[in-house]
Structure 1
Amino acid sequence: MSWSPRCSASSPRSGTAVAHGSVVDPASRNYGCWLRWGSDFQNPAMARQDPMCWQAWQDNPNAMWNWNGLYRNGSGGNFQAVVPDGQLCSGGRTEGGRYNSLDTVGAWKTTDIGANFTVKLYDQASHGADYFQVYVTRQGFDPTTQPLTWSDLRLVARTGKYAPSQNYEIPVSTSGLSGRHVVYTIWQASHMDQTYFLCSDVNFR
């Protein structure tokens, strides 16, 4: 199966000089905002139609233009030490706080999924992966009113190595989940100790 994001990370309108990657399905928060509004990000209708993206664009447009740069270097696998509760979606306020708006609690737009779904990542730079970890929030957690914490997450998939490529797919199987959740993907890149922390808002049908 071949797929890619609507626009490559190296295109001029993405506004980023160094291409990395993100979860594109179910879309990470900032990738989804870029996908929906990147060509119309000054439209005031966003405030009504997509208020969580609106606050993110108002806070720092570069969080969307650099949708593929939400990572931390040098975590040493000790993720809970470098990414505090309430800061999971910004990677612990990484990159000088560029992505802080992604931690904002509220009704982010969701992607509909079933119990069995596939996490798809786009890696413009072909970093490869030592592993991926995919978590889903526990049943009963409400991301529209509660900040995301590590104790809210349940591990649903852990992979081995992925060879360098631009497209990765991670099959995930769950059971007993319904309604709104957050899928949290940790991508440990292979080229150095570089870790991506990616929140995707979903609705289990």
Structure 2
Amino acid sequence: MRMRSTSRSTLRRRSLFALVGVLAAMIAWVPTASAHGTIVGPPTRAYQCWQKWGSQHTNPEMQQQDPMCWQAFQANADTMWNWMSALRDGLGGNFQGATPDGQLCSNALSRNNSLNNPGAWKTTNVGSNFTMHLYDQASHGADFFRVYVSKNGFDPKTQRLGWGDLDFITQTGRFAPAKDITFNVQTSGYTGHHVVFTIWQASHLDQTYMWCSDVNFG
């Protein structure tokens, strides 16, 4: 009887150790699978809101000082906390067909819909030639970046961005895996508040990221 009891106890311990091992492996895998990036300069709408208000996201002064970030935090705070995860899988390069007008700034992700709303988004001052900066936690690299600027006459304060509102500026070549990727963008003829719309096609999988950055051309 004692031997059977000991055997059962040993089996239970072995089963428990095996379960713990499986759970540990699953947990260890999560950060690599979930880490991504965004354009931090000029900052995307979600990153700008997280950078300025993340440490004080319940501050009621945000409603008056930064109403667009306020409405975004009220709609879904996860939009800002997960500024690095605005991706979609398997578009196969069909960016326009898979992304309806008015949903470009959210990358057609419903949880990020507040980023599409027109209004007084805070802008970053840039010149006609400026540098784009991608920060990527997982160093995925890039097949390419496509950069567009909203057309003259488009008003980000009153209009949602559509494909017909964009001027294509440039498409880069490939970038090797790195946490920080920078490249130059050359424009002409823009003044005032415009939206810089960027598509990042990551290299490790068919993952597409799309963002809006609000800039003020001086």
Partners of 1:185 and 1:80 in 2: CA distance: 13
Residue correspondence of structure 1 range 97-116 to structure 2 within 5 A: 97-116=110-129
- Residues 49-99 of structure 1: per-residue CA shift (max 9 Å, x gap): 00000000000000000000011111110111111000000101x2xx211
Partners of 1:170 and 1:140 in 2: CA distance: 27
> Is 1:26 paired with 2:42?
yes
Partners of 1:127 and 1:20 in 2: CA distance: 8
User: Where has structure 1 moved over 6 Å in runs of 4 or more?
Assistant: none
Partners of 2:71 and 2:141 in 1: CA distance: 32
- 2:14 maps to what in 1? none
- 1:155 maps to what in 2? 168
- Residues 16-70 of structure 1: per-residue CA shift (max 9 Å, x gap): x821000000000000000000000000000000000000000000000000001
Percent identity between matched residues is: 60
- 1:190 maps to what in 2? 203
> Is 1:53 paired with 2:69?
yes
Aligned AA (1:134): V
Partners of 2:40 and 2:57 in 1: CA distance: 19
Partners of 1:65 and 1:182 in 2: CA distance: 22
Unaligned 5+ runs, structure 2: 1-32
> Is 1:132 paired with 2:148?
no
Partners of 2:205 and 2:82 in 1: CA distance: 20
Q: Secondary structure at the match of 2:38?
A: strand
Partners of 1:190 and 1:66 in 2: CA distance: 20
Partners of 1:18 and 1:42 in 2: CA distance: 26
Deviation at 1:139, TM superposition (A): 1.0
Q: Compute the RMSD of aligned alpha carbons.
A: 1.4
- 1:66 maps to what in 2? 82
- 1:4 maps to what in 2? none
Q: Secondary structure at the match of 1:79?
A: coil
Aligned AA (1:28): T
- Residues 134-160 of structure 1: per-residue CA shift (max 9 Å, x gap): 110111111101110001111112111
Partners of 2:90 and 2:74 in 1: CA distance: 30
TM-score after normalising by structure 1: 0.89
Give the number of the structure whose alpha-carbon radius of gyration is greater: 2
Unaligned 5+ runs, structure 1: 1-16
Aligned AA (2:106): S
Structure showing the higher helix proportion among its residues: 2
TM-score after normalising by structure 2: 0.84
